[in-house]
Structure 1
Amino acid sequence: MTGPAPAPRSPTRRRPRRPEWAGRNYTLLTASAVVTNLGTHGALIAAAFAVLDSGGDGGDVGLVAAARTLPLVLFTLIGGAIADRLPRHRVMVAANALNCVSQAAFAALVLMGEPQLWQMMLLTGLCGTGQAFFNPAAEGMLISSVHGEQAGRAFALFRLAMHGAGIGGAALGGVLIAGFGPGWVLAVDAAAFAVAGALRAFLDVSHVPRRANGGGLLADLRDGWREFAGRTWLWSITAQFAVVNAVVGAAEAVYGPLVAEESLGGAGPWGLALAAFGAGTIGGALLMTRWKPRRMLFVGTVCVFPLALPSAALAVPLPFGGLAAVMFVSGVAIEVFGVVWMTALHQEVPEEKLSRVSAYDWFSSTAMLPLSTALAGPTEQLFGLEKSLWGCAVLVVLVTALVLFVPDVRNLTRRTRQVAGHKIESTPPVSAAAPGT
């Protein structure tokens, strides 16, 4: 004799599954990037106005900005080699700790009284040193955290979250500077680095292939150089951005605050203008979650031309509404470039060499920043603010046009098939393979 039939189970609500590529590392990297961007975008504005509030001029603002970028030139290559040799998350956490301490000391100096120029240069230099070790490790970690045909979408969503935080950070930073002074914004940035470092401590690096024994730091640097120099599209675009980043960095770090002080009403409107740029990057990231251009580097390079627009708008100068619109358009355009660039690195560069190649990318792209920001003040005094800004715009257009003559930039295409995380070429790659690959 059988017993009563069991009661039917009530239906259970299934939790929505995350996309396959949105694993633990991707989630932690995105969350920590949001935290740091909330602090850093406001802190960059705060540093410039801390110099101006202490009695400095445009030349002093340029020297402090140069002190932040000089370590990127000096230490980025070493940072990339170390990031491929040590667990990447440990390098990232150590760099965040240095950023936290340096920004906290900078905030304390500003809040307690008038900081000296050499003190501000020293502390921003320490912050830049942290970034030099952080950037190659972080880029290698992010690119290796996703796989498959959805890599481009994953990078777009990451950058969407990152730039969304940047909007809030720039807008909130400008408001806080106007209301309470730059010291508190620097303190918030220090706290953000502490929180982000704690999140990054939980990253998993077990998927990274073990390094073979033998070879030292110089051997790693030579290996990374072969990977970098063997790809024409890679070194030509990074050479382009050595100039683009130099002039755009000078315009944003030095000339923008000066125009804001003279014509826009100070830190608040300038912070909102930078927030408009951030809004544009969100629009570009949203676009790239759907759009997968086949000739990705050609499309990305064309989208660099609008980076000349903000310098031109500041040279006029346009009123706040016009400047905000220009910043938005340039934000959309550069975000298209950013996503296709990360996709190209993901597709073309072996995982175990990503940080070393990224280091050469970062080094080349930032090599001229210290010089350009240091010379921005003297250039403005020699030629005037308007002519200096028009010169920035012309240089962006010129070097971007030159890169379009490189065949690999015009012709490198997106691969469409990937199996089990391994690249399967549907069409032969255009770029030449680096020796040893």
Structure 2
Amino acid sequence: MTAPPETTEVRDSRSILREPSFVRLWIGTTASGLATWALPFVLGLAVLERELSAVGLGVVLATRTAGFLLAVPVAGVLADRHSRRSVVLWSGLAAAAAAPVIALGLAVSSLPLMAVAAALAGAGQGACRPAFQALVAEVVDGERRQQANAAMSLAVRVITLTAPALTALLATVLNTDALLIGIGLTWLCAALIPPKGRYTPAATGPKVPFVRQFTEGLQEAKRHPWFLAGLGALTAVIATGYSATGVALPLLSRDKYDTEVVLAASLTAYTVGALVGALLIARWRPRAQGWTALAALACYGFAPLSLLLPVHPAVVVAAYAVAGLGIELFNVPWFTATQREVEPSKLARVSSLDFLFSYGLAPVGLALIAPAIDAFGVTAVLGACAAVCFLAPAAAALVPSTRNFSRTRSKP
């Protein structure tokens, strides 16, 4: 009795990349991910070339983050009020226009001009995220969304793994201005290539104030206890585990192991682990999908734990591979469940909350961990980070509806 569904699942997983509408969406999201990743890397090259100071780099990246955080909740409302495709278009065009302005600011040594353009680029990046998430639910049917989300994640991880070498190679024949123009062209692809979706905004009536529409998104999120619990766990893990990776790993790679190889190998292992996780979850359907995802998320705790213990560098690298594997085994079911469970007319708003509270607040953890290490010592801080990474998903799993990330499927 179970053979036909399994056969269908295999057939669907093979055909998802043959559907033109999904391929266009996949190319658009991949292009946005590449452009998002490339900007800080290219600006870092400008610092190496002494075209931009380290302080200037910090200002530009900070304004980009500010633009992202401001745009995400606004875009969530706009993407539910209007066509998701139009939000992707205008956000991509805004980011595309910002790239040559950043290049101009770099050429004339105008940090204020670069900062304003970076804020616009961050706003475009933030605005497209909830719209892209909602578009997946429009373009892909429910049975294949997990494969679709896995394909999206796989593309992001491939970019993370290969783009540094590719960008460094391009930098040998192109100057920074040309690379920034290339980022703009990549954003143009992200704006123009994605397909139209099936979502039709509600019929026009009395204009609902923006704040009320945003509040409706909060209320929709509250209807799903599994979402609030999972988002709390994800936010806690990223704020602590990601911060340990960003600050403590470079320090310990230098001071404890006396080599930068540990840093490079650990980050590469994390990406490879995430690649494996995306490939695995494209087909795997665990019985208690939510609990499995939360257990996988808790695996991030092995990263700060490995930095805390007196272990061989290979153990640190292995711990980061496990963390990467776990984060994708969480991400893909998490996105799929959100697309399945949330009311379609409020999906972009709920997705915007996801990005705002999880990845959007990650810089707060990065800003706090260095002073915490100075105040309490690296051992105490890493121990606290590991404990949070293990305990936050475990606490989330106590919410009954997290078993399958569904209010209606929580029974064994």
TM-score with structure 2 setting the length: 0.79
Structure 1 residues 156 and 396: CA distance shift in structure 2, 3 A: same
CA drift of 1:204 comes to 3.0
* 1:310/1:364 CA distance change after superposition, 3 Å: same
Rounded to whole Å, the distance in 2 between the matches of 1:317 and 1:386 is 11
Residue 86 of structure 1 corresponds to 82
- Is the CA contact (8 Å cut-off) linking 1:100 and 1:191 kept in structure 2? no
Task: Determine if contact 1:69/1:369 at 8 Å carries over to the other structure.
Answer: no
**Residue 289 (structure 2) pairs with residue 306 (structure 1):** no
Is 1:328 matched with 2:324? no
Per-residue deviation, 1:395: 2.0
Counting aligned pairs with the same residue, the percent is 24
C-alpha contact 2:274 2:325 (8 A) present in aligned 1:
yes
Q: Give the distance between the partners of 1:190 and 1:261, measured in 2 at CA.
A: 35
**Is 1:355 aligned to residue 348 of structure 2?**
yes
Q: Does 1:339 align with 2:335?
A: no
CA distance in 2, matches of 1:170, 1:157: 21
2:88–2:128 contact (8 Å) kept in structure 1: yes
Question: Hey, what does 2:371 align to over in structure 1?
Answer: 378
| Map of 1:13 onto structure 2 | none
**Unaligned regions of 5+ residues in structure 1, if any?**
1-16, 414-426, 432-437
Instruction: Give the corresponding residue for 1:401.
Output: 394
* Partner residue in 1 for 2:192: 201
Post-superposition Cα deviations, 1:30-75, rounded to whole Å, max 9, x if no partner, equal 1233334445445555667877987759xx9988765544444433
Contact 2:39–2:183 (CA under 8 A) maintained in structure 1: no
Conserved in 2, the CA contact under 8 Å of 1:93 and 1:198?
no
Match of 1:166 in 2: 160
- CA separation of 1:78/1:176 partners in 2, compared to 1, >3 Å: closer, same or farther? same
What is the match of residue 383 of structure 2?
390
In structure 2, what is the Cα distance between the partners aligned to 1:150 and 1:160?
Answer: 15
Q: How far apart in 2 are the matches of 1:110 and 1:335?
A: 37
Kindly provide the amino acid, as one letter, of the partner of residue 82 in structure 1.
L
Asked if the contact 1:297–1:409 (Cα under 8 Å) also holds between the matched residues in 2, the reply is: yes
> CA separation in 2, counterparts of 1:402 and 1:101?
44
Structure number with higher relative contact order (C-alpha < 8 Å, ≥ 6 residues apart): 1
What is the CA–CA distance in structure 2 between the aligned matches of 1:155 and 1:235, rounded to whole Å? Answer: 21
1:34 is matched with 30
The reply to whether residue 144 of structure 1 matches residue 138 of structure 2 is: yes
| Residue 237 (structure 1) shift | 1.2
Query: Secondary structure in 2 aligned to 1:243?
Result: helix
Determine the C-alpha separation between the residues in 2 that align with 1:108 and 1:370.
27
Aligned equivalents of 1:344, 1:286: Cα separation in 2:
18
Larger helix proportion, structure 1 or 2? 2
Contact between 1:70 and 1:125, CA under 8 Å: does it hold in 2?
Answer: yes
Q: 1: distance between equivalents of 2:264 and 2:85?
A: 32
Partner of 2:200, secondary structure, is coil
- CA change 1:49–1:299 in 2 (3 A) is farther
What secondary structure, in the 3-state scheme, does the structure 2 residue paired with 1:303 have? helix
Residue 82 (structure 1) shift: 0.7
Residues 15-414 of structure 1 mapped to structure 2, 5 A cutoff: 19=15, 22-41=18-37, 43-44=39-40, 67-102=63-98, 124-170=118-164, 172=166, 184=176, 188=179, 191-205=182-196, 207-214=198-205, 215-216=207-208, 217-259=210-252, 265=259, 270-271=263-264, 273-315=266-308, 321-366=314-359, 368-412=361-405
- Structure 2 counterpart of 1:377, one-letter code: A
CA deviations 1:367-388 (Å, max 9, x no partner) are 6334322223323333344543
What amino acid sits opposite 1:83 in the alignment?
Answer: A
Q: Is the 8 A contact 1:66 1:371 kept in 2?
A: no
Q: Distance in 2 between matches of 1:326 and 1:198?
A: 36
Confirm or deny: 8 A CA contact 1:98 1:126 kept in the other structure: yes
Residues 148 and 403 from structure 1, CA distance in 2 versus in 1: closer, same or farther, beyond 3 angstroms?
closer
Q: CA deviation at 1:239?
A: 1.8
Alignment CA distance shift 1:119-1:196 (3 Å): closer
Equivalent-residue separation in structure 2 for 1:50 and 1:228 (angstroms): 42
Tell me the equivalent position of 1:5.
none
Q: CA deviation at 1:187?
A: 6.2
